[in-house]
Amino acid sequence: MKFRSDPSAIRGSLAPVVTPFTDAGAVDHDSLRALVRWQLDSGSHGISLGGSTGEPSAQSVAERIAAMRTAADEIADRVPFLPGTGSAKLDETLELTAAAAELGADAALVITPYYARPTQEALYRWYATVAREFPDLPLVIYNVPSRTAVDIEPETVRRLFTDFDNVVGVKETTKDFEHFSRVLHACGPELLVWSGIELLCLPLMALGGAGFISAVANLAPAAVARMYELWEQGDHAGARALHYRLHPLVDLLFVETNPAPAKWVLARQGRIASDHVRPPLTAPTDAGLERIRALLAAGGDLTQQL
């Protein structure tokens, strides 16, 4: 939790790792440890767990907490740890966030409550409740309308950022790039904004973004981290070159529902023991695998450390 007191230091490529399962469907903690070690060895600037790529809605609260514990133990304060602690239920969100705080997380990534489609006032009250309950824990709003059916508006983010010192940032996973700009304009440069849309990660840096929480870091962590570093060093041409080289792997992720394609690749590379995804997701179809193999051939060199 050494980054908790200065959340402005939580920048760069924060890898949203998959949650590995055994063939029988149990959480595979050994594979999770191996993934975290690989991310650290590859230069990722932080680790997230339990966002959309981690299949949180298919796990129990106890399973999610146990996975957070494993990740926190392996990270050991070497880089920032931002576990996803949101749920469709407020009591579960509070329980998960409390566990994250106890385990030493540097911030909690709290998704907008899904399925219910709350109003903006309801979203404000939801996050206000979490912020008041954990005043010493930095909170990052997680906006992913394609999965939750609700879009937290820039003005609502501004209200929360203004009213609560521990609301420090937002992960924007929307293809509406205008939304990114309006959030930063409403809140100012002190708000930390990460992109969760792979092909908007680099463009966000031009607006003053803090980095990216990009699923492609599961496949090419060194390349994604290096892209951020090149941008920060002023080598914008080098960063753009990596951005375009990553295109095939980005497309691979979404051949079928994420994270099934990523898990298939990771299992074939021996980084996790099984490509199992929990229902309602399924392993890639034969047609999907044909496309995945072609895209891996096009961009697979980046799955090795640079």
- Tens digit of pLDDT for each residue in 236-267? 999 999 999 999 999 999 999 999 999 999 99
Residue 1 has pLDDT above 80, yes or no: no
Alpha helices in 109-215 (DSSP H): 120-133, 145-148, 154-163, 177-187, 201-207
Instruction: Identify any residues that bridge with 142 across adjacent strands, giving them in sequence order.
Output: 111, 171
Task: Map residue 212 onto helix, strand or coil.
Answer: strand
Task: Please state whether the predicted TM-score (pTM) of the whole model is above 0.75.
Answer: yes
Contact 81/46 with Cβ under 8 angstroms? yes
User: What local confidence, expressed as pLDDT, does residue 2 receive?
Assistant: 86
Can you tell me the distance from the alpha carbon of 32 to that of 21, in angstroms, rounded to the nearest whole number? 9
Average pLDDT over the chain, rounded to an integer:
97
Starting from the edge strand earliest in sequence, which strands make up the sheet with 139-143, in order?
81-83, 46-49, 12-17, 211-212, 192-195, 167-172, 139-143, 108-111
Can you tell me the distance from the alpha carbon of 13 to that of 175, in angstroms, rounded to the nearest whole number? 19
User: What local confidence, expressed as pLDDT, does residue 256 receive?
Assistant: 98
* The amino acid at 124: Y
- Residue 212's pLDDT band (boundaries 50, 70, 90)? very high
Residue 27 has pLDDT above 90, yes or no: yes
42-89 pLDDT tens trace:
999 999 999 999 999 999 999 999 999 999 999 999 999 999 999 999
Residue 129 has pLDDT above 90, yes or no: yes
Residues taking part in catalysis: 142, 171
